[in-house]
Structure 1
Amino acid sequence: IALPTLAYSGQVFFSSAWQALRHGRTNMDVPISLGVILAFALSVFETLTERHHAYFDASVTLLFFLLIGRTLDHMMRERARTAVRGLARLAARGANVLRPDGTREYMPVGEIAVGDRVVLVAGDRVPVDGVVEQGSSDVDVAMVSGEAMPQLASVGTPLRAGTLNLTGPLEMRATAVAANSFLAEMVRLMEAAEGGRARYRRIADRAAQLYSPVVHLTALLTFIGWVLLSGDWHRSISVAITVLIITCPCALGLAVPIVQVVAARRLFERSILTKDGTGLERIATIDTVVLDKTGTVTVGRPILLNALDIARPAMAIAAALAASSRHPLSVALVEAADQPDAVVLDSVAERAGLGVEGWIGQDLYRLGRADWALNEPGAARGTVLSQNGEMLAAFRFEDQLRADVKTTVASLQADGLKVMLVSGDEAAVVARVAAEIGVDDAFGDVLPAGKLELIASLRAKGHSVLMVGDGLNDAPALAGADVSMAPSGAADVGRNAADFVFLKDSLSAVSHTRSVAIDAGRLIRQNLGFSVIYNGIAVPIAILGYATPLVAAAAMSLSSVIVVGNALRLRAPHPSRTTQAAPALGAAP
């Protein structure tokens, strides 16, 4: 029974040990494999020579506890997902290219050349970088700037590959091939950033590099010493095997993954998902926090600030017009209206990049850009409602801060962390939000590559950086930081690139995660310390011959149980007794 059990269950350790030895190095699986194989071989010898002792149960028990640690470690590593494939899926497969004779030909994105005229309809993704030559439409540029608000694209507007055409037809001239486009650059940035993070050395791996040679040397010296002193080869081999088993790194192998699993559970109780266990080690050592603005510091959803100042008839007409549009400002206006279907329009139509217009009898009502809705240019700015070109109401929208954002920033700063705000939004808007939440360092008009460069420069100066972001444009920075977090509403690519995902609107998840990580780090050090003390006591006993392989297996099992029990002492941080409502930013854009 023991032979097939060891052959099947131990193959992961045997294979790893063999690969390490083939390359002239050692790892934690080498002493494990030696201990299991030698204990089994000695047991076979004892059985064939009809001696009194056999240690098949010790070998199987040894693998049982080691597999527990390996399984927990595998569970944590599997939660880390690459975001590169998700980002690449945003690329268009192809597009309709307008030929000189006026015909359209569908071409794969890799065959579109510089100078080709590309036709885009509503819902198409921009296949390559280009410039609009004809048409007008709203374009979702979240992956470029991180802003949820669509931007108007008209003649002369540059378009980036991967952005989404929302409302109207466009004709653009390609200015770059697919391999040199903005989206391709984003993918390359992600690959480089993730490759840099993969070189992070885990605590247990570093300990194993020192631990394994010491175990091998101790067992070898024990064997040689007993041979010289007693001349009994059988006894010498038995003592050496006992040393290998009693020093087998079960407790060391469990020290890190069991704490990480318990910590992940504690964070899950606070609606925070842990995707990579090593992120717990990294977030405990950060000294700088970089926050994205839209969708991170703010919820990324506009709200209507002056609903109470607008006359009810005007509000009802505006809500009726807005109900026919999916523009974020239209959605916010409908949500703010008491009765969005109180007015029935005779007809309604959405004008790409401009707004919505509708008729009630002989009157034309327009809701949208002031320079389009009003007869008198420059009479107002922003979003307005007009009747036959005369303004009825002006609407002020603003994004909403996440719950507890000011408290979280203050808490992080009180702990000695430097907090920075970075965004693709206008510098003036970013500076205003930074002042609102108490952040001194703010950077606006920053593209994805710029965010990654900022983080790289901070790391080059010796800082350990936490990046908190949500957009497609944040993905390279999330992957390039020492550790990263994203809200659950983030783009798929952003969530995949992050080490942690928080499910609630409150930004206090950042403080909670760091608190749990610091406690987890303390327990990991305690477990590693216990492993050292255990070996300091058990190894001399084994070397002196006062323990058998079976006793060694029992001692090893007990040490593993103690490590697991210590990990279960981890507690989640206590939630705040008071919860403040998320305030809206005070100033209008």
Structure 2
Amino acid sequence: MALNRDFSYYVKDIGSGLAHLDLAVEGVSCAGCMMKIERGLSAIPDVTLARVNLTDRRLAVEWKKGELDPAQFVDRLAALGYKAYPFEPVRAEVVEAEQSRFLLRCLGVAAFATMNVMMLSIPVWSGNVTDMIPEQRDFFHWLSALIALPAAAYAGQPFFRSAFTALRSRGVNMDVPISIGVVLALGMSIVETIHHAEHAYFDAAIMLLTFLLAGRYLDQNMRRRTRAVAGNLAALKAETATKFISPTEISEVPVAAIVPGDIVLLRPGERCAIDGKVIDGRSEIDQSLITGETRYVAAEAGTAVYAGTMNISGTLRIRVGAAAEGTLLSEISRLLENALQARSRYVQLADRASRLYAPVVHATALLTMLGWVALGASWHDAIVTAIAVLIITCPCALGLAIPAVQTIVASALFRAGVLLNSGDAVERVADVDTVVFDKTGTLTLPELDVVNAAAIPTDVLQLAGRLALASHHPVAAAVARASKATSPLEGIVEEPGQGVRGLIDGVELRLGRPSFCAAERMANEILGTDPEISVVAFSRGQERYVFAVRQQLRLDAAATIRSLVKRGVAVEILSGDREPAVKHAATALGVIAWRAGLTPTDKIAHIEDLKRRGRTVMMVGDGLNDAPALAAASVSMSPVSATHLSQAAADMIFLGKDLVPVLAAVDFSRKALQLMRQNLALAIGYNVLAVPIAIAGYATPLVAAAAMSGSSILVMLNSLRARRVAPEVT
């Protein structure tokens, strides 16, 4: 019975007569795999796009709708040697975690076996130049075989499986010569042991696997994980809405059943499911997940509201402008997905060098063996020499050249307050020549502060703070923090959209809008002094006070920006905030290039324009509206206080209230890239020197393994220099 595979559930109609399908692909490990897959699928008629995201091993395919069956993509990938299935975030995360655990188990087995085999090899090495009898030497060799053979069979699976898959699809990759070298070394060791030879090469084979597994495990765990993005977006999407089906009757319906022009009811505490405009009612809207602004926005007739925002206090009637796929939240999701699929222009140097590795090594080893036979050597000696060539040219140093630096720099960056969220972020930051900052929550601290607290009498500040504890409004929370109040007043009444009030000793206390407290004149005087100020008023009987609340610039923001400029990095500010507020911050920080009132699309357009002009852009932002721009930039950073979506889209997360981690990321990354290039030069130089020695027959497999290990140690020691960076703010 033929198996019918229906992929229609996973296929998306993206308009213009095109269909889209995301596939998870197993076995993608380097740029060569990416090119092989993309070329293979692009050759299928009607396919307009085939793009691999190496970060999450996700393949995006687009094609002209018609007779093309998407199952053909899976068949073509199978013919190329890759297993594929429809991309589902939960399944992909499980597979990724299992692969990581498997590599770790293999590494543990290989490392344990290496230590034990090396301990058994020491007496053999010393015995060969003293008085060890053949029987004792054979005993140690057989003990080594008992440890190395099962350990290699288990720990070598990642390489053996990959090599077999490549050969089955009539191709080669880096794992083919590795597997051949290990298998031949083990096989020759058994033959040598049976014939009571002085040398066996179990230690060389298992040592190879240990070093290579270490590099592969590091690479596996440094890759960017973006699967939480869909979950974070989904959490913001309300699946139903309360729709007016008549002027006096409402019904809860799925969002998919709502069309533009409908009227919906949004009650306090509900998350908005649609984009639209308020036609009746008054409330406050929490738009922090959309705009990054922590202050609530007043909502009244004519106010635009967006899907994903939270209604705080009053009840609103909203005329629908867009629902389901047409909302701002859906647009942000689409922009983010497109940006995450975009190909980084920085191809890893190790991948470039390793693409030529397999064919060159195979040809060199084969020619070495045939050359020695032609010169009259025995097949035994010729094969041993060829094995030495395979081992001595093993890409261990080449494989560690990048991951070793990445790991050490990741540790150093952590101490500097930077967490890596992407494996190749360090390489991309090194090329940055332009840093684009969001303002709110990035250049400023996320919490609001009362800037005139010192001018308020202590007893008034305490009373206002106790009132503020009864409110969840971020401005009220700033007053509560400034007063350090711990116990709210009893009998507090909240007036939706206005403030809170209560009685103490028969005197009414109020905290909220200036109009609620009859303090409009005082509030207007303060608002005229600073465009970024927000006000909250307090009244006690006939007394009136106004608290000036604002987000403070990070203390080291100006110094960090000056230091970036001194390093040749241009700095810009892109913000969705009001122009006066952005201009005020830019002036205080000495930033000439700034833009205000930008949408997510505007930010992406500006970043893309910078990239077209040859700039390498790092975006630093924290709001949901920054997430697509973060993903579209060459590299990105978010503060730890950022929304979960922004953190998922960012390549780096920085901790604390200081901005100096941005400078640390630039300094460490530039040093790291320098060391990566040095490591690659060391690895290539080692092969240039060592290969002729092995071809000439002066290196046994054991010497070859020792030389290979020495080159790896040299690469690791050079990588340790990445810690010697001390970013200074000037």
Q: Within 1, Cα distance between the matches of 2:299 and 2:429?
A: 40
> Are residues 24 and 177 of structure 1, via their aligned partners in 2, closer, same or farther at CA, if it must alter by over 3 Å?
farther
The partner residue of 1:441 within 573, 593, 606 is 593
Deviation readout 1:118-167 (Å, 9 max, x if unpaired): 22222221112122233222111123322111101112211111112222
For CA contacts below 8 A with separation 6 or more, give which structure has more relative contact order. Answer: 1
The answer to whether residue 399 in structure 2 is matched with residue 247 in structure 1 is no
**Deviations 1:34-73 (Å, cap 9, x if unpaired)?**
2223323434555567766543332222111111111122
CA offsets per residue over residues 382-419 of structure 1, 9 Å max, x none?
63536599771233222111121111000000111110
Q: Is the 8 A contact 2:229 2:648 kept in 1?
A: yes
CA contact (8 A) 1:263 1:520 kept: yes
Q: What is the distance in 1 between the residues matched to 2:403 and 2:239?
A: 42
Give the aligned partner of residue 309 of structure 2.
163
- Corresponding position of 1:185: 331
Deviates more, 1:276-285 or 1:198-207: 198-207
SS of residue paired to 2:322 = coil
Q: Deviations over 1:233-260 (max 9, x none)?
A: 3332222221111000011111111111
- Equivalent of 2:575 in 423, 442, 448: 423
Give, in whole Å, the separation in 1 of the partners of 2:337 and 2:416: 31
Q: What amino acid is the match of 2:417?
A: S
Task: Find 2:184's aligned residue among 18, 38, 44.
Answer: 38
Question: Separation in 1 of the partners of 2:393 and 2:540?
Answer: 87
- Give TM-score, length-normalised by structure 1: 0.90
In structure 1, the gaps of 5 or more residues are: 579-589
Q: What is the one-letter code of the residue matched to 1:430?
A: V
Q: Secondary structure at the match of 1:370?
A: coil
SS in structure 2 at match of 1:194: helix
TM, length-normalised to structure 2:
0.73
Q: Confirm or deny that 1:357 pairs with 2:509.
A: no
- Counterpart in the other structure of 1:451: 603
Q: Which residue of 2 aligns with 1:410?
A: 562
Q: Secondary structure at the match of 1:248?
A: coil
Q: Are 1:535 and 2:677 counterparts?
A: no
Do the aligned partners of 2:660 and 2:729 also contact (CA within 8 Å) in 1? no
Counterpart amino acid of residue 463 in structure 1: R
Q: State the shift of 1:96 in Å.
A: 2.7
Distance 1:4 1:171 in 2: 71
- The aligned residue for residue 119 of structure 1 is 265
Q: How does 1:379-398 map to 2 (within 5 A)?
A: 380=524, 383=535, 385=537, 387=539, 392-398=544-550
For 1:340-379, list aligned pairs within 5 A. Answer: 347-359=491-503, 365-374=509-518
Cα distance 1:312–1:548, how it changes in 2: closer, same or farther (>3 A)?
A: closer
Is residue 2:433 matched to residue 1:287? yes
Which deviations, in whole Å up to 9, do the C-alpha atoms of 1:56-111 show, x marking residues without a partner?
33222211111111112222126666534322322123233332274443333333
1:96 corresponds to 2:248: no
1:554 aligns with 2:706: yes
> In 2, Cα distance between the equivalents of 1:313 and 1:546?
88
| Kept after mapping to 2: 8 A contact 1:81/1:497 | no
Give the aligned residue type for 1:254.
Answer: L
The equivalent position to 2:300 in structure 1, one of 142, 146, 154, is 154
Question: Is 1:432 paired with 2:588?
Answer: no
Aligned partner letter, 1:544: A
Equivalent residue for 1:585? none
The SS at the match of 1:256 is helix
For 1:9-408, list aligned pairs within 5 A: 9-21=155-167, 26-46=172-192, 53-77=199-223, 83-100=229-246, 102-197=248-343, 200-230=346-376, 232-312=378-458, 314-337=460-483, 347-359=491-503, 365-374=509-518, 380=524, 383=535, 385=537, 387=539, 392-408=544-560
Contact 1:88 1:187 in 2 (8 A): no
Q: For residue 348 of structure 1, report the CA deviation from its aligned partner.
A: 3.2
Secondary structure class of the residue paired with 1:39: helix
Question: Matches of 2:378 and 2:454 in 1, distance apart?
Answer: 95
Q: For this pair of structures, how many residues does the alignment match?
A: 576
- Matched to 2:413, the amino acid is L
Equivalent residue, structure 2, for 1:570: 722
Confirm or deny: 8 A CA contact 1:144 1:447 kept in the other structure: no
Q: Structure 1 stretch 50-59 or stretch 523-532: which is displaced more?
A: 50-59
Per mean C-alpha deviation after superposition, the further-off stretch among 22-31 and 406-415 is 22-31
Q: Which amino acid is 1:476 matched to?
A: P
Distance 1:402 1:378, change over 3 A: closer
Distance 1:551 1:318, change over 3 A: same
Task: Kindly state the Cα deviation for residue 458 of structure 1 after the two structures are TM-superposed.
Answer: 1.2
Aligned AA (1:399): Q
Residue 28 of structure 1 and its aligned partner are, at CA, apart by 2.5
Q: CA offset at residue 565 of structure 1?
A: 2.3
Given that 2:344 and 2:634 are in contact with CA atoms closer than 8 Å, whether structure 1 keeps it comes out as no
Question: Are the counterparts in 1 of residues 621 and 638 from structure 2 also a CA contact under 8 Å?
Answer: yes
Q: Secondary structure at the match of 1:486?
A: strand
Partners of 1:375 and 1:412 in 2: how far apart? 44
Are the counterparts in 2 of residues 129 and 175 from structure 1 also a CA contact under 8 Å?
yes
Instruction: Could you tell me which runs of 5 or more consecutive residues in structure 2 were left unpaired when the two chains were aligned.
Output: 1-145, 528-533
Distance 1:384 1:177 in 2: 35
With 5-14 and 284-293 compared, the bigger mean Cα shift is at 5-14
For residue 503 of structure 1, what is the amino acid of its counterpart? L
Cα distance in 1, alignment partners of residues 224 and 536 from structure 2 = 51
- How big is the shift at 1:8? 2.0
Q: Are 2:615 and 1:463 aligned?
A: yes
Q: Which amino acid aligns with 1:403?
A: L
Note if contact 1:153-1:353 (Cα within 8 Å) is conserved in structure 2. Answer: no
Q: Aligned pair 1:526/2:684, yes or no?
A: no
Name the aligned partner's letter for residue 592 of structure 2: D
CA contact (8 A) 1:316 1:340 kept: no
Q: Indicate if the aligned counterparts of 2:439 and 2:573 stay in contact, CA closer than 8 A.
A: yes
Q: Secondary structure at the match of 1:547?
A: coil
**Equivalent position amino acid for 1:258 in 2:** A
- 1: distance between equivalents of 2:712 and 2:194? 32
> Are the aligned partners of 1:82 and 1:497 in contact in 2 as well (CA < 8 Å)?
no
Amino acid at match of 1:148: T
Equivalent pair of 2:575/2:595 in contact (CA under 8 Å)? yes
Aligned-pair distance for 1:532?
1.5
